[in-house]
């Protein structure tokens, strides 16, 4: 089973029993405002049950729950793209509001980057961040993603057009960074 133990949290597969915590923490307009519209709002127990049912069936999970004190408090995951984009994956994440600002996602995202490049044939990992979400941009920059483009007013949220910021990391950049970090750790 995939379990990644970090300083601030543990990443592990979603499982039965996570429903209440998921529905409670994900049902938050401040989260919904920063993610795609398909993210349920309000996030009901029924939504939580179907998310867990869908995700527990994977041999190699593409979504991992962020666990703190035995409770699932967020998600970090990715979707693999198709056709000529099949070596791309898009990373996505959210964290329950009571846990913001403690450095949790700054640790979870690099761990997910390593998980993706280590276990999947992916050449480019990218993220799409809506205008104004500086915490998410900081998380990505800290993990080694490069700002690649701004898709001007590409998204619509709450009836407002918003710029979408694209951040990406190539496999070769991940490998170089890993090498650099382990050289620093040796000295
Ligand atoms: C974005 C989110 C994942 C950040 O997670 P987090 O664990 O709170 O982030 P961290 O504590 O690791 O902080 C990351 C960086 O953002 C900064 N930051 C935190 N909150 C911030 C805020 N409100 N405004 C600006 N910067 C902020 C931190 O200081 C840190 O910067 P540093 O690396 O320079 O020290 C979390 O706020 C969240 O779930 N938001 C709603 C959903 C969402 O935005 N998902 C991503 C969609 S692209």
**Best residue for ligand 1 mutational test, from 125, 135, 165 (most atoms within 8 Å of Cβ):** 135
Distance 34 CA to ligand 1 centre (A): 11
**For the segment 68-120, what is each residue's pLDDT rounded down to a tens digit?**
999 999 999 999 999 999 999 999 999 999 999 999 999 999 999 999 999 99
- Closest by CA to 140, choosing from 109, 163, 95, is 109
Task: Determine which residue's CA is closest to atom 31 belonging to ligand 1.
Answer: 138
Which residues form ligand 1's pocket by a CB distance below 6 Å?
31, 34-35, 93-95, 100-106, 127, 129, 133-136, 138-139, 142
Task: Determine which residue's CA is closest to atom 3 belonging to ligand 1.
Answer: 94
Distance, CA of 37 to CA of 74 (rounded, Å): 17
**For the segment 44-78, what is each residue's pLDDT rounded down to a tens digit?**
999 999 999 999 888 899 999 999 999 999 999 99
Locus of tokens 């409670």: 24
The whole-model pTM stands at 0.97
Class for the domain spanning 4-186: alpha beta
Q: Beta strand pairing status for 124-130 and 88-95?
A: parallel
Q: Are 66 and 9 in contact (CB under 8 A)?
A: yes
Q: What are phi and psi of 119, to 5 degrees?
A: -110, -15
Distance, CA of 159 to CA of 56 (rounded, Å): 35
Angle at alpha carbon of residue 117, lines to 15 and 97, rounded to 5°: 45
Domain boundaries, the chain: 4-186
């Amino acid at each position: 089973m995939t379990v990644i133990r970090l300083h601030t949290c543990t990443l592990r597969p979603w499982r039965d029993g996570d429903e209440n915590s998921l529905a409670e923490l994900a049902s938050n307009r401040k989260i919904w405002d920063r993610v795609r519209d398909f993210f349920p709002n309000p996030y009901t127990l029924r939504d939580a049950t179907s998310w867990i049912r869908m995700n527990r069936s994977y041999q190699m999970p593409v979504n991992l729950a962020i666990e703190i004190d035995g409770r699932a408090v967020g998600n970090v995951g990715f979707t693999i793209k198709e056709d000529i984009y099949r070596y791309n994956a898009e990373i996505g994440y959210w964290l329950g509001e009571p846990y913001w600002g403690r450095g949790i996602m700054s640790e979870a995202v690099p761990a997910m980057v390593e998980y993706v490049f280590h276990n999947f044939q992916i050449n480019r990992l990218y993220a799409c961040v809506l205008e104004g979400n500086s915490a998410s941009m900081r998380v990505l920059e800290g993990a080694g993603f490069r700002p690649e483009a701004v898709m001007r007013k590409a998204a619509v949220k709450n009836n407002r057009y918003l710029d979408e910021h694209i951040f990406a990391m190539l496999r070769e950049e991940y490998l170089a960074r890993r090498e650099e970090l382990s050289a620093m750790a040796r000295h």
